[in-house]
Amino acid sequence: MTFASLGLIEPLLRSLDGLDYQTPTPVQAQAIPAVLKGRDLMAAAQTGTGKTAGFALPLLQRLTMEGPQVASNSVRALVLVPTRELAEQVQQSFQAYGQHLPLRSYAVYGGVSINPQMMKLRKGLDVLVATPGRLLDLYRQNAVKFAQLQCLVLDEADRMLDLGFARELDELFAALPKKRQTLLFSATFSEAIRALAREMLRDPLSIEVSPRNAAAKSVKQWLIPVDKKRKAELFLHLYRSKRWSQVLVFVKTRKGVDELEGELQRHGISADAIHGDKPQPTRLRALQRFKQGEVQVLVATDVAARGLDIDDLPLVVNFDLPIVAEDYVHRIGRTGRAGASGQAVSLVCADEVQHLAAIEALIQQVLQRIDEPDFIPDHRVPQTQAGGQVLKKPKKPKQKPLPAAGKGKVHLGSWFEEDDTPKAKAVRKVPSFAGKPARGGRKP
């Protein structure tokens, strides 16, 4: 199969040839013809399988072949994404694919001045890539209009439809024309999200080119049990002993990101960081330095779990497990992309076992455990099994109660002091046997 056989026009084929795109991926092969026909679509595929091209290529063709010229402050296609980094990356893809077409595209997101974005919108845009919060700000200021909207795309739809964006999305959806094409693309879809999506789409075509919520087979996954307080020490040990080169490290909190970045720098390791508190230019600069190899370790929160397309990234480390199991799939999807191999290692402490079980239930496999000899945890991580169950520790067998006094043996009572436990009773006195010989003995 070729891209030409999918019905794409010559300017797009020329762009793909320049990008050395030879054969459509499975998601592209199924999605492109459906989008060209105007179908609503719900597509699930693993990260790194070319989902962006699956909607960008046919959208660019439809915008070129159909519809009027875009009016001032209007947009013809809207792509909603959850993070600023993903907005930039999707916009760059549209520019690359549409370089030989007379179409205008742009990305808007928070963390930067809104004024240049308002100026850009005045001439109208064929494709607008946006995060929900900033798009809502622009809409409320009448800087963007949706009367000419032909298509809505939700990229990383599972996150877009999450409760965290519910208020913004409700207001935006109410402003969009009901007659439109709607496309949902993501690596993961929960059942609740699928039910919500069915309300938004009209007779949608469902595409699943891989097992639902599965991690890419090209990524080798394992975990190392460790006490929480020794995670940074373990990471430094692994980085040096394994001679890691380029590593993307995911940490749960912004504070944790800053702490690990500082610890690495104090040990002479070139490190940078990305999280929501950092200004957008700083985040983009950190990402660019990492991509160019100027930085060996990039420490990030889950803002980097989606939308970071880094060529030949060999390793992802989960310093902390994600709270949302689906984010694990997106995190490790930063490596092993486009058919390349990759590795993903998780540093897991005892109080993360429930997160571990949820991840294993989602990906339908139990992660291999590899102990690091000098870092065996004092608080052992409970074992898990298929289906995401945590195995409980075997109960100690109950001891038979000692016979009561007067039954042939002396019962000495409970030997603890009152201060040992709030509910303890005082030490009981040993029964007095004064003047009575012990059983089998003689009177002294």
Q: What is the mean pLDDT of each run of 10 residues along the chain (444 residues)?
A: 92 92 90 94 77 94 91 96 88 94 95 93 96 94 96 84 71 91 82 74 83 66 95 96 92 93 94 86 87 91 74 89 86 75 92 93 90 93 82 56 50 38 44 46 45
Q: Are residues 226 and 189 in the same domain?
A: no
**Cβ-contact 40, 58 below 8 angstroms:** no
Burial (CB count <10 Å: 0-12, 13-18, 19+), residue 421: exposed
Per-residue confidence (pLDDT) for residue 7, from 0 to 100 = 93
Type of residue found at 387: G
Q: Domain range spanning residue 334?
A: 219-390
> Same domain, yes or no, for 21 and 159?
yes
Tell whether 81 is covered by a domain. Answer: yes
Q: In this structure, are 306 and 248 located in the same domain?
A: yes
The pLDDT, as a whole number, for residue 373 is 93
**Could you tell me if 205 and 323 are in contact, meaning their C-beta atoms sit under 8 angstroms apart?**
no
What does the pLDDT read at residue 65? 93
**Contacting residues for 288 by C-beta, under 8 A, at least 6 apart:** none
Cβ–Cβ under 8 Å, residues 80 and 152: yes
Residues 303 and 226 in one domain: yes
What pLDDT is recorded for position 221? 93
Smallest CA-to-CA distance from 177 within 82, 107, 105, 78 is with 78
432 located within any domain: no
pLDDT of residue 441: 46
Q: Structural domain tally of the chain?
A: 2
The secondary element (H helix, E strand) that includes residue 262 is: helix 254-266
Shared domain for 90 and 122, answered yes or no, is yes
Instruction: Measure the CA–CA gap between 178 and 34, rounded to whole angstroms.
Output: 20
The tens digit of pLDDT for each residue in 134-157 reads: 999 999 999 999 999 999 999 887
Report angle CA 61, 149, 91 to the nearest 5 degrees: 55
Give a yes or no: residue 416 inside a domain.
Answer: no
Same domain, 42 and 183: yes
Are 253 and 118 part of one and the same domain?
no
pLDDT tens digit sequence for 279-335: 878 888 898 899 888 999 999 988 777 666 677 788 999 999 998 888 898 888 888
259, 198: one domain: no
In-domain check, residue 126: yes
CB 42 within 8 A of CB 184: yes
| 245/340 same-domain check | yes
**Is 252 found in the same domain as 203?**
no
On whether both 139 and 186 belong to a single domain, the answer is: yes
Q: Residue 307 falls within a domain, yes or no?
A: yes
- Distances from the Cα of 100 to the Cαs of 13, 24, 61, in angstroms? 10, 20, 11
Q: What is the pLDDT of residue 111?
A: 83
What pLDDT score was predicted for residue 442? Answer: 46
Q: What is the CA radius of gyration of the chain?
A: 30
Q: What is the per-residue pLDDT for 359?
A: 92
Residue 433 in domain: no
